[in-house]
A and B are shown apart, each in its own frame.
Chain A
Amino acid sequence: MIMMEDVHFAYDGLYTALQGVSLQIDDSERIAIMGSNGAGKTTLVKHLNGLLRPNSGRIIFDGVDIKHYSVAELAREIGLVMQNPDHQLFLDSVEKEVVFGLKQLGFSEDEIKERTERTLASLGLAGLSERSPFTLSGGERKRVALASVLATEPRILALDEPTIGQDARQKEKLAEMLMGLNEKGRTVIVVTHDIEFVIENFPRTIAMANGNIIADGPTNSVLSNDKVIKKCSLTAPQLTQAARSLHEIYPKVQERLTLLSELENEIVRVLGGV
């Protein structure tokens, strides 16, 4: 379990990136952190593994203040994938990138081989294992960065904008993999602007604005709140827009976050006589 208690942070004292953030993350949760550019999302996740240390306030990991741990110690428990893969990749083959982290954590040769192959296959990178990440596309490099951390299966995964540059199929594959890890008990935290990805995969959403948490709760209720949508610079997903517009004429169609199959059934009902 992680607890943040009234965490404040300012980069170089210039402006305040976190202004008193408190939250609790339990084991095996799936949480999305959403908010406009500059809301403090990335700053928050960088505090989880000690890359940034709070100016004031505390972060408690399993009952111990993380100021007592080094980044290296925290890295064994908390895996962070940064927004820009180029800040993370440094070896000359995709396979080496994935093997590197596993070696550092002391896995056996067999285990390293098995995990590397499985992770690369799950993320659609199997055919690229010998390639230099430098020669890959933006979306592929992002998946290599994800693979290098996901392969280590840390207790807590924090992924900053994991869906950037990914097509619909790759997003599905990534979601499947995150679900699999979550079922094994891993905590999954994503920072993202991708509202559909959140609705489909994350039961809890933390919304941030100007360095504060402005809402924290079930995704359905947080993202149904127009004020939150506006303050987080989000736009309502197409299905919600359609549901709202239909609700004006057919009050039975609920104006809320909707899955595709739900809206499909509602429309069939409305047009039942056609």
Chain B
Amino acid sequence: MPLVELNDFSFKYYGAESLALKKIDLTIEEGEYVVITGPSGCGKTTLCRTINALVPQFHRGYISGNVIIDGKNTREHTVAELSSIAGLVFQEPENQLVTLNVEKEIAFGPENLGVEPSEIRRRVEEIIQLLDIEHLREKHPHEMSGGEQQRVAMAATLALKPKILVADEPTSNLDPQSAEVILDIISSLNKRDMTVILVEHRLDLVSKDASRIVLMDKGRIVADGPPREILAQDICQEIGIGVPKATLVYKRLKEQHGIDLGSIPLTGDELAGLVKEASS
């Protein structure tokens, strides 16, 4: 059974004049790392909100079709019921942090789900180690940098032991090195068995880790497949998403100069490696 299943799902926010999601069919299996991308306003955030039932339980509106998360239809299950299946991390960590120090922040979620205190203590320690935030333990969230806040927001989400981590542009406010720290954590969680759904515009940073890219435009899924396959397609430039520059160079060499490097690079180093191979 797939972990995430959207069947012919459409959604229109209450009061909006057009559909935010149009006839979405999407299946995600356990262990995948799926990057969702597409032009600003194409429905990426709305899609994230369907995974933990924020749509339709909190954000109301017209719906048709079904969303089944780990066997639960989100029409019939609350956000609280889904909180231990799908954990959401948002773009702005400040909007998500509610307590006065990191330990309390991590404990807050499981406390509200009625988890045993001894188990909560165990999880807090485990997650502080996992995300390497021992030095932040006693700190107030507002004394932290954006990157530190984002790590704490992720820790608080992971404390709920979700099967799926849904992260909606978690690095967009961060400097590139802090962003890489967060993306490395996400990638290592995925390797440890976490299913990851990540919304991101900066495909140069995430394509190498992802197993799959889902490309959206105007509320629909317009392409879905392995990163190298998707990013080399013309549709990416047609709808205006940020294809990694190394991939663009590959395409221009092939189309303008008849030079085929043999495989599609996603990073600068991969591009340089392919050029070296081709010349030897």
Residues of A within 8 A of B (CB): 35-38, 83-84, 124, 131, 135-140, 143, 161, 164-172, 193, 195-196, 232-246, 249, 260, 263-264, 267-268, 270-271, 274
- Complex alpha-carbon distance, A91 and B146, angstroms: 28
* Contacting residues, chain A, for B45 (C-beta < 8 A): 137-138
Taken together as a complex, chains A and B put the C-alpha atoms of A143 and B40 apart, in Å, by 10
A268 to B254, CA, bound (A): 11
* A260 x B173 contact (CB < 8 A): no
Q: Enumerate 18 A-B pairs (CB-CB under 8 Å) in ascending A order.
A: A37-B174, A124-B40, A165-B91, A168-B240, A168-B243, A169-B239, A171-B242, A193-B176, A233-B177, A233-B178, A238-B244, A238-B268, A238-B271, A240-B268, A243-B268, A249-B276, A267-B253, A271-B279
B177–A36 CB distance below 8 A: yes
How near does chain B come to A83, taking the closest CB pair, in angstroms?
A: 7
Find the B residue at minimum CB distance from A245: B272
Q: How far is the CA of A242 from the CA of B239 in the complex (A)?
A: 26
Docked complex Cα distance between A249 and B177 (Å): 28
Known: A137-B41, A234-B177. A260 touches B271 (CB 8 A): no
Known interface pairs A195-B176, A238-B245, A238-B271. Does A167 touch B240 (Cβ–Cβ under 8 Å)?
A: yes
The yes or no answer to B257 lying at the interface (CB within 8 A) is yes
The answer to the question of B201 belonging to the interface, with a C-beta cut-off of 8 Å to chain A, is yes
CA distance A273 to B239 in the complex (A): 35
Q: Assess whether B201 is in contact with A166, with CB atoms less than 8 Å apart.
A: yes
How many angstroms from the CA of A35 to the CA of B16 in the assembled complex?
A: 39
Closest to A83 in B: B173
Over the window 226-249 of chain B, the binary record of Cβ atoms lying under 8 Å from chain A Cβ atoms (1 yes, 0 no) is 000000000000011111111011
A168 pairs with B272, CB closer than 8 A: no
The total of chain B residues at the interface (CB under 8 A) is 50
Q: Which residues of B contact A168 (CB under 8 A)?
A: 201, 240-243
Whether B115 sits at the interface, judged by CB under 8 Å, is no
CB of B169 within 8 Å of the partner chain: yes
CB atoms of B259 and A268 under 8 A apart: yes
Q: How far is the CA of A62 from the CA of B15 in the complex (A)?
A: 48
Is A268's CB under 8 angstroms from B92's CB?
no
Within the complex, which residue of A170, A195, A271 is in contact with B40, where a contact is CB–CB below 8 Å? Answer: A170
Sort A-B residue pairs by CB-CB distance and give the 8 closest, nearest first: A169-B240, A241-B268, A139-B40, A245-B272, A242-B268, A233-B177, A238-B268, A168-B242
Given contacts A137-B44, A237-B268, A238-B244, 16 further A-B contacts (CB under 8 A): A36-B175, A38-B145, A165-B169, A166-B40, A166-B201, A167-B242, A168-B241, A196-B245, A233-B177, A233-B178, A238-B268, A239-B245, A241-B268, A267-B259, A268-B257, A274-B278
| Inter-chain contact B177/A260, CB cutoff 8 Å | no
Chain A residues whose CB sits within 8 angstroms of the CB of B253 once the complex forms = 264, 267-268
Does B147 touch A at the CB level, under 8 Å? Answer: yes
Q: Judging by beta carbons under 8 Å apart, are B40 and A274 in contact?
A: no
Report B240-280 residues with CB < 8 Å from chain A CB: 240-246, 248-249, 252-253, 256-257, 259, 267-269, 271-273, 275-276, 278-279
Please determine whether A264 and B40 come into contact, CB atoms closer than 8 angstroms: no
- Assembly CA distance A170 to B253 (angstroms): 26
Q: CA of A264 to CA of B250 in the docked complex: distance in angstroms?
A: 9
Shortest CB-to-CB span from B213 to chain A, Å, is 14
Q: Provide the residues of chain A in CB contact with B276, threshold 8 Å.
A: 246, 249
Q: Which residues of B contact A271 (CB under 8 A)?
A: 259, 275, 278-279
Q: Assess the A238–B267 pair: CB atoms within 8 A.
A: yes
Distance of B72 from chain A, by nearest CB (Å): 27
Q: Which residues of B contact A (CB under 8 A)?
A: 13, 15-16, 38-41, 44-45, 91-92, 145-147, 169, 172-178, 180, 201, 204, 239-246, 248-249, 252-253, 256-257, 259, 267-269, 271-273, 275-276, 278-279
Q: For A236, list chain B residues within 8 Å (CB).
A: 268
CA distance A244 to B271 in the complex (A): 11
Q: A140-B40, A165-B201, A242-B272 are in contact. Are A260 and B248 (CB under 8 A)?
A: yes
Report the bound CA distance from A169 to B243 in whole Å. Answer: 11
**Are A137's CB and B40's CB within 8 A?**
yes
Verify A167–B257 contact, CB threshold 8 A. no
Q: How far is the CB of A203 from chain B (nearest CB, A)?
A: 20
CA distance A168 to B240 in the complex (A): 5
A132 nearest CB neighbor, chain B only: B15
Whether A238 lies near B246 (C-beta < 8 A) is: yes
CB distance from B262 to the nearest CB of A (A): 11
A146–B41 Cα distance when bound, in Å, is 16
Residues on A with beta carbons closer than 8 Å to the beta carbon of B178: 36-37, 233
Q: How far is the CB of B90 from chain A (nearest CB, A)?
A: 9
CA distance A160 to B268 in the complex (A): 28
Q: A135-B16, A167-B241 are in contact. Are A241 and B173 (CB under 8 A)?
A: no
Q: How far is the CB of B22 from chain A (nearest CB, A)?
A: 16
Specify which of B176, B178, B269 lies most central, judged by the most chain A CB atoms within 10 Å of its CB. Answer: B176
CA distance A242 to B276 in the complex (A): 11
| Chain B, residue nearest A239 (CB) | B245
Name the B residues within 8 Å of A166 (CB-CB). Answer: 40, 201
Alpha-carbon gap, A143 to B41, bound state (A): 11
- Once A135-B16, A193-B175, A268-B253 are accepted as A-B contacts, the answer to whether A241 and B41 lie under 8 Å apart by CB is no
